[in-house]
Amino acid sequence: MIEIKGLSKKYGAFYALNDLNLTLQEGTVFGFVGANGAGKSTTFSILATLLQPTSGDAFVNGKSVRTDANEVRKQIGYMPDFFGVYDQLKANEYLDFYGASYGISEAERKILIPQLLELVNLTHKRYEYVDLLSRGMKQRLCLARSLIHDPKVLILDEPASGLDPRARVEMRDILKQLKGMGKTILISSHILPELAEMCDEIGVIDGGRLIAHGSVSEIQSKLAGERHITVKVKGLLENVATFFEEDPFISSIEMHLEKNAVTFNYRGTEDDQINLLKKAMDHSIKVISFSETETDLEDVFMEITKGAK
């Protein structure tokens, strides 16, 4: 559905995007992770036919952004990171304007607009002026706007930025619904755990280069093979900590008195991990739980970008 080949964008001597290659299948939800200025918005702007690439090309459903920009526009729904709204225009009129801009007939728009407002939970605000809506509502309305022509691909640049936790959850729920509709979604965000929850694939971009790409679990496994383990026990915690400290694969051991648990990073293999638990049981440690904590995607991001710098 999306194919990016050797895409570069240069401003003078500075590469905003450097030889980006990426292929995404139809229905994939792709999370684009990167620090500010890493090249996420540049990539999205090129895909949205708003920015001319210096070299390379990108294809949306087989259509080149260079030679078939008009066709690409019909296939994508774009939501920029920063956007404005027209004063003196009501929510339903806002959608009507963009619907007409995509050549949708008035009769179709009349059916479509209430459905979209329903999808983004703004039915009760349809007669409100857009500039008077809250930030979260504007974001949702903009998302509805990007869906008005039923695009195959959604390009969402930081859709949850600046939103309060409730608005973020609402936005995430809508995106899950869109994922369920089979849309191919490209989404960039700084709220990395949220991306992990809804994305099929993650791409980490830094300094204009795609430094990691794969499923969430693949990306996480790139983290130097360390696993974070929590052991909850019954009995004296000091003895337990002393026991684990002796293991050569264990580092960064911490005691949590309130939970009566210890946490540590484990470098050994899965078999070593099994043996460790067995040894602990043999050592008469009363283990209530022995669990591996999922590595936070933010940690992964920090680790990967640290290596790239």
Partner 1 sequence: MKQVFSNPVLVKEIKLRFRSPKSFIGILFYLIAMCIFVFGFILLTTQFSGTGYFRPEESFFMFTMLTYIQLGLILFITPGLTAGAISTEREKQTLNILLTTSQTSFQIIFGKLTSSIAFLLLLLIAGLPIYSMVFLFGGVSPSQLGIIFLFFFLTMLAIGSIGIMYSTIIRKTIVSMIATYGTMIFLSAVTGFIYLVITGMNTMVAGSISSSPVGHFFASINPVVLVLTLVSPGSDTFITDTTKVDFPIWVGYAIFYICITAFAIFISVKKLRVNMNRTK
Q: Are strands 63-64 and 55-60 parallel, antiparallel or unpaired?
A: antiparallel
Q: How far is the CB of 173 from partner 1 (least distance, A)?
A: 23
Give the residues lining the site for partner 1 (CB under 8 A): 45, 48-54, 65-67, 69-70, 73-74, 76, 78, 80, 82-89, 93, 97-98, 100-103, 142, 145, 149
Q: 40 or 213: whose CB is closer to partner 1?
A: 40
C-beta of 80 vs 159, nearer to partner 1: 80
Q: How far is the CB of 80 from partner 1 (least distance, A)?
A: 6
Q: Report, in Å, the least distance between residue 79 CB and partner 1.
A: 8
Q: How far is the CB of 86 from partner 1 (least distance, A)?
A: 6
Between 65 and 262, whose beta carbon lies closer to partner 1?
Answer: 65
Q: Cβ 198 to partner 1, closest distance in Å?
A: 23
Q: Which one, 10 or 279, has the nearer CB to partner 1?
A: 10
Token digits for 4? 């990016």
Minimum Å distance from CB 55 to partner 1?
8
Whichever of 109 and 213 has its CB closer to partner 1, that residue is: 109
Instruction: Name the residue nearer to partner 1 (CB basis): 70 or 284.
Output: 70
